[in-house]
Structure 1
């Protein structure tokens, strides 16, 4: 783990953890933390920003070095088909775009 300093510095934005994103996180929005605790929290976030994902493109998968891919076991069975849920025509293109983004980001993958 990265080492923390006894006196956390003021937050300095990075490419991934920008000032806008930090505002979206609403760190200490209710004033529960003391100013030094707030700075410490921001320092911890900044030091571990590689673990944060703000978009599907940032999202990764668990390293196969630590976790083997999970294969869902099944039993022999008679195949059956359910009718697909219809997509309303008004949002069809949006749904297709979201699905494409998820596939490109690796969230969805082909089944075996």
Structure 2
């Protein structure tokens, strides 16, 4: 592992001028070193998760359950995936999660 770090430091030092350190160009390379490129894409419809329908009669009960899970840490707000909000329920094993889309 130490050799990889040393190699990375060496490569970074010899190609230091290739990187932009100006905050306005953060995340880019200098155009004098690297040509612009375009990533080809295929026209498509983005994948969307369908929200779960909740019967109006149990809507308040579901809201209470969701608030309790958020409060005790067994659920966290979903920050990726769909443009709609959602929850990610934690199970006993951290590696497996269940996503639930909520209608906000």
Q: TM-score, normalised by structure 1?
A: 0.28
Q: Which protein shows a greater Rg?
A: 2
Structure whose residues are more often strand by fraction: 2
Give TM-score scaled by structure 2 length: 0.30
Larger relative CO (CA 8 A, sep 6+): 1 or 2? 1
